[in-house]
Amino acid sequence: MSYLPYCVAAWLFVIGLYGVVTSRHLVHLIVCLSVVQSSTYLLLLSIGFRDLPAQAPIFSDVPPGTPAVDPVVHALTLTDIVVSATVSALLLALVMDVQRRRGSVDPETLSPFRE
């Protein structure tokens, strides 16, 4: 039971991949890709977590010696979130381009071996 967060992260990864593989609309695919990326946030933050009495690594109102959780994984996750959002934006622009060029946003009909 103390490995539940890691299992939830692995489950989100695989279910997001399932969504990517079986998608019928490119925008649905992009949102499933963001689910895959969010599994990594969960994994990172679960690795750096420490039980009470550890608290957030922000010492505004407590003296700087109190036990805290790991701040490095917070930094990695922040970077991850921003990169995920902007890459999703780039992919959405690509979807608009695909619609303009091929007339369809269904991955099943957009195979390069057709037409």
Partner 1 sequence: MRPRHRHLLFLVAGAGVLGYLVWGMLDLSPFGRYPGPYGDIVNAVAFSERHVLNVVTAVIFDYRGFDTLGEEFILFACVTGVSLLLRHEGDEQGDRCSPKPRRESSLEQAIAPHASEASRSCAALYCGLILVFGVYIVLTGHLSVGGGFQGGVILASAWLLVLVAFGSPALHRFARKYAVEWFESAGAGAYVLIGLASLLFGQNFLTNILPLGEPGQLLSSGTILLINCGVGIEVSSGFILLLCEFGKPLQHQKPVR
Partner 2 sequence: MNSFNTLQLVVFGLVGLAGTAVVLTRNPKRQIFVAGVYGLFQTVLFYLLHSPDVALSELAVTTVGLPILVLLTLARLEKVK
Q: Which residues bind partner 1 (CB under 8 A)?
A: 2-7, 9-11, 13-14, 17-18, 21-22, 43, 46-51, 57-60, 64-65, 68-75, 78-79, 81-83, 86-87, 89-90, 92-94, 96-97, 99-101, 103, 108
> What is the token pair recorded at 77?
């996750």
Strand partners, 68: 55
Strand partners, 6: none
Contact status, residue 27 vs residue 105, Cβ threshold 8 Å: yes
DSSP symbol at 22: T
CA distance 65 to 110: 58
Report the site for partner 2 in 9-48 (rule: CB under 8 A): 11-12, 15-16, 18-19, 24-25, 27-28, 30-32, 34-35, 38-39, 41-42, 45-46
Neighbours of 33 (CB within 10 A): 19
CA distance 39 to 105: 26
Q: How many residues bind partner 2, per CB under 8 A?
A: 51
- The footprint of partner 2 (CB under 8 A) covers 1-2, 4-5, 8, 11-12, 15-16, 18-19, 24-25, 27-28, 30-32, 34-35, 38-39, 41-42, 45-46, 49, 51, 54-58, 68-69, 74, 77-78, 81-82, 84-85, 88-89, 92, 95-96, 99-100, 103, 105
